[in-house]
Amino acid sequence: MKNKKKWTKKEINGFKKMILGKRTKVLEEYEASKVRADDMLNSETNNAIYSSHMADAGTDQQEMEKAYYWVARENKFLQFLNRALEMIEEGTFGLCKECGDLINAERLEEVPHTTSCFECKNANKHR
Ligand SMILES: [Zn+2]
């Protein structure tokens, strides 16, 4: 019978610390992006009232879309990190849901919320 592998408490605590660190950083970036996007939205509204330079407005529009794209991206990343923290609480973190093996630690640093190991992910792709 195959021995069921498990992360040690120490390893899990290490992951938790890593995820919380990432989350703090993303949260700061998210707040900054949000302020930036909202600022742009406000100035855009003002421009629309006080200016008739369509070309300028077009550029602003693009910049604003970019800013909101970052807000959405960071928000999504935050959800992933929260999910990973939930998985730690549930005891499913870092375990492949397909084969039950431990997921490579480097992979977990890149994608903490992942639920499949390299092998299973590749196997799925080729199926
Ligand atoms: Zn697997």
Q: How far apart are CA 124 and CA 19, in angstroms?
A: 27
**pLDDT tens-digit map of 96-116:** 999 999 999 999 999 999 999
What's CA 50's distance to the chain center, in Å?
38
pTM of the model: 0.80
**SS3 letters for the chain?**
CCCCCCCCHHHHHHHHHHHHHHHHHHHHHHHHHHHHHHHHHHHHHHHHHHCCCHHHHHHHHHHHHHHHHHHHHHHHHHHHHHHHHHHHHHCCCCECCCCCCECCHHHHHHCCCCCCCHHHHHHHHHC
At 54, the pLDDT band (50, 70, 90 cuts) reads low
Q: Hey, is 23 helix, strand or coil?
A: helix
Q: Where along the chain do its domains lie?
A: 9-93, 95-127
Name the β-bridge partners of 102: 95
Ligand 1 midpoint to CA 17 (Å)? 24
Averaged pLDDT, 55-84? 87
Ligand 1 midpoint to CA 73 (Å)? 27
Ligand 1 midpoint to CA 81 (Å)? 21
At 63, the pLDDT band (50, 70, 90 cuts) reads confident
